[in-house]
Amino acid sequence: MPHLNQQRATPRTGFTLLELVLALSVLAILIGLTWPSLMRFVGDQRLRDDVELVRSRAAAVRSSAIAERLTFQFRYEPGGTRYLILPYERPLTGRQDENLDATSAGSIDDKLRVRDYELDEGNRFSAAAPSPLGSTSQPPLTEQISQDWLALFGGEATLAQTTWSEAILFKPDGSATDTEFFVVDDDGRYQRIAVRGLTAAVSSGPVQQEDRR
């Protein structure tokens, strides 16, 4: 019986160039389909996180006002990124010196010091919801805080150069200025933050998208 030389077939361990091209093409299509949704989700979440931080800090002012028996103010920078919290009136007699001045600000209770914050990059404050392109809205009322008043509570001098919103007041009786404002991002997303006057409750709305048509 003749001897037959047979070669054992070896399993294929790689891919052909055509298979690689097809796989990459499918992957590119999937990325193209899911990328906009992923970026939209990331953008929405960044805005939500920033708004929640503003909301929680504003809500905490109510507790400070009640605990310190003192009216506090919350202000934001319309069209800008900064916001701050500080007393709106001098501390009550017995808690701090009636003649509190800038020279004694270093000894002031930390609970009364100016708290200065800033939004994430790409986000900004607005007094009103974004309007469709071409429409006009009334500019918000703005104020500046005197450098002397900021110095009383350890605030930086640069804060006096910022144009702020009108004060949103949180009072010792648990009430507040009834108001609303918005945080807007560069892609036209925005969220509403509302302060309820009777209870000083601070709430935020859902992420919405500006109509840019």
Instruction: Specify the 3-state DSSP secondary structure of 178.
Output: coil
What mean pLDDT is predicted for residues 186-213? 91
Backbone region of residue 133 per phi and psi (left: phi > 0; alpha: psi in -120 to 50; beta: other values): beta
Block residue for tokens 């202000």: 75
**Each residue of 10-30: pLDDT tens digit?**
565 666 877 677 777 777 777
Distance CA 86, CA 66 (A): 14
Report d(CA 123, CA 207) in Å as an integer: 13
CA distance 51 to 122: 13
Position of tokens 């009103």?
Answer: 128
What the chain holds in terms of domains, given with CATH numbers, is 17-209 (3.55.40.10)
How is residue 69 written in tokens?
Answer: 């028996």
Predicted TM-score (pTM) of the model is: 0.76
Q: What is the pLDDT of residues 66-124, one digit of tens each?
A: 999 999 999 999 999 999 999 999 886 444 444 455 445 456 788 899 999 999 999 99
Give the whole-angstrom CA distance, residue 170 versus residue 43. 31
